[in-house]
Amino acid sequence: MQCVRRLVPSVVKYSTRMYNPARFFGVEMTFKANGEDVEVECDAGENLFEVAVGNDVEVKNSCNGGGTCGECWMVFPKDVFDKLPKAGETEQGLLKKMGAPALARLSCQVKTCECMSGKTIEVPLPK
């Protein structure tokens, strides 16, 4: 009987989380890719590359988000860019090598944050 009592609350919590239409994700942003706006919702702290790819946004890359190719750069609004942690030396070198604009970061090296809510992040066209 104790097993049943312990099991029921966990099932209730699980189903409430899964089917609650009022679930707040924390970050609602837009990717501008291939001339289309793709609105996404995610939790703060998620890997930006994975969020984009997981929402069918085509992101140029050859290392699958490993941080070695420098191809997955995205351009951020200035106010968001200024709030992101500074890029490391390796990332800065890859961005320079790829000819990325000043407000660009590698999406695989960026975690989503609440400062991205309501903002549009530009994704360059894959070549």
Residues with Cβ within 8 Å of 73's Cβ and at least 6 positions away in sequence, in order, are: 95, 98, 100, 104, 105, 106, 107, 124
Which residues in the chain show pLDDT less than 50?
1-18, 20
Question: Read out DSSP for 30-77?
Answer: EEEETTEEEEEEE-TT-BHHHHHHHTT-----SSSSSSSS---EEE--
Domain boundaries, the chain: 22-123
Matching CATH number, 22-123, of 3.40.50.150, 3.30.200.20, 3.40.50.261, 3.10.20.30: 3.10.20.30
Q: How far is Cα 42 from Cα 29, in angstroms, rounded to an integer?
A: 9
